[in-house]
Amino acid sequence: MAMAEGEMAVDESAEEEPLEVDLLSDGGVLSFPAFRLMLAQHFVGNVAFWAYFGTLIAQATFRFDASPRELAIIGACISVPFIFGALLQGFLVDRWSPKWLQFIGVGLIGVAIGVGWLATDLPGLYSSAFFIGMGAAAIEPARAALTALYVPERLLVPANAAITVVFQIAILSGTLLGGFLLAVSNASSVYVAAIALIAIAVVIAAFLPDTRQQGTIPELSFQDLGRGMHTAWRHPQIRLLLFVTGMGWMAFNAFFVLEPLYIENTLKQGDQAILYLWAAHGAGAICGALLITRLKRAHHRELALVGSGVAASGVGLLIYAGSGIYAVAFVGAAGIGAGLAFMFPPALSLIQRVVEEEERGRVSSVLLSLQEVMALLGSLLIIVLGMPDSAVQKVLVGVALAMMITGALGLRAYARLRRRGDD
């Protein structure tokens, strides 16, 4: 679809101006129709996903009595297809159409929901998780590329923050919807609602403008596929970003895998508590993402925001896991969510700012794939170690401390880069 004149034009002027544009004002990110449509698709799709996924994890824990090892296998089933798929899909984003790759990814999430609905045992849930990884591998690099195509560079930080706000509102809405339906009905009603919503998301995705990357179209070769890795590694800021987000995501994935058992065994709560605590994550992340949209000088300070986000998530997790009290866990969960909001919008904004347009999809995929590699390592450690349920709380406290240390090291390294003029 051709770009309408003036509809999505990108003005690269005033690149160094302070970011003082309101989301809703003339010239704000929501003044771009294509971006608004992408946000709508993102919202509806994620309400469906989080209602379904929270229910899937609740069923694994409470219906099938999954152990730490078995919950880690669910995480690994997501990570493996994501790692390899995201690299390939990022390459296709640069070569083909981000819009249609996103469309395919949303459709695969619909398949995952259907498989989860039909599952009668843990292997069925593993299969559903595998389709999640395949779908996310297409969606994430495609959305990152579309964001940079739909809004001007100077608005990339608030644009990505707006995506995070919508994402977290969707988590809040989806998990509350799932928890409510579990309370008044059963898991099947959650799956039916999720399938209806994901169908709407697929239709919206089909109507996104088919704006494509400009510049050299890469040849379909392993050499060119590796170019994204080379670009990511040789740039000092992106190299630091890979370290901080990779370590942070490994720690967060360990928390994600063990959280249901912590809720069941330490907090002594039932399946609905998983969705309600995830809603608290979402509420905290909404606050964090809204704060990012109001920062006046976020441009060129993306790494500082990422390091701060990892450290803040660690503090939230320490409150969450250290207390062992259900009410206090909501406070910690909100803190974790707020920290995560500071991690991902600035990370994508940094790539969109410093990487040439024709390579953004591949470099974004390198970041996402590395995060999933680290997540997979965390899952494999849990699988191999086979920790008892009684050790979960202590492990989560250790994970919290690791996140705080990683964030602090990232901030220190970023300060050195600024002194050298590499920002």
- Residue 226 carries which DSSP code? T
Is pLDDT at 28 greater than 50 in this prediction? Answer: yes
Query: 206 burial class (0-12, 13-18, 19+ CB within 10 angstroms)?
Result: middle
Structure confidence at residue 9 (pLDDT): 37
DSSP 282-332: HHHHHHHHHHHHH-TT-TT-HHHHHHHHHHHHHHHHHHHHHH--HHHHHHH
Those residues whose C-beta lies under 8 Å from the C-beta of residue 119, and which sit 6 or more positions away, are 59, 125, 127, 128
Structure confidence at residue 215 (pLDDT): 54
Token pair 């590699």 is at which residue? 373
Angstrom distances, CA of residue 275 to CA of 116, 281, 332: 17, 10, 15
As given in the structure block, the two tokens for residue 364 are 């974004």
Task: Give the predicted TM-score (pTM) of the model.
Answer: 0.75
Structure confidence at residue 49 (pLDDT): 94
Please provide the average confidence, as pLDDT, over all residues in the chain: 82
What is the topology classification, in CATH, of domain 31-208+221-420?
Growth Hormone; Chain: A; (1.20.1250)
pLDDT tens-place string over residues 202-211: 999 999 988 8
pLDDT tens-place string over residues 215-248: 555 554 556 556 777 777 778 888 888 889 889 8
Least confident of 55-59, 115-119, 342-346, 400-404: 342-346
Q: Could you tell me the pLDDT band of residue 161, with boundaries at 50, 70 and 90?
A: confident
Q: What percent of the chain has pLDDT over 90?
A: 38
Structure confidence at residue 213 (pLDDT): 65
Contact 346, 316 (CB under 8 A): no
Query: What ranges do the domains of the chain cover?
Result: 31-208+221-420
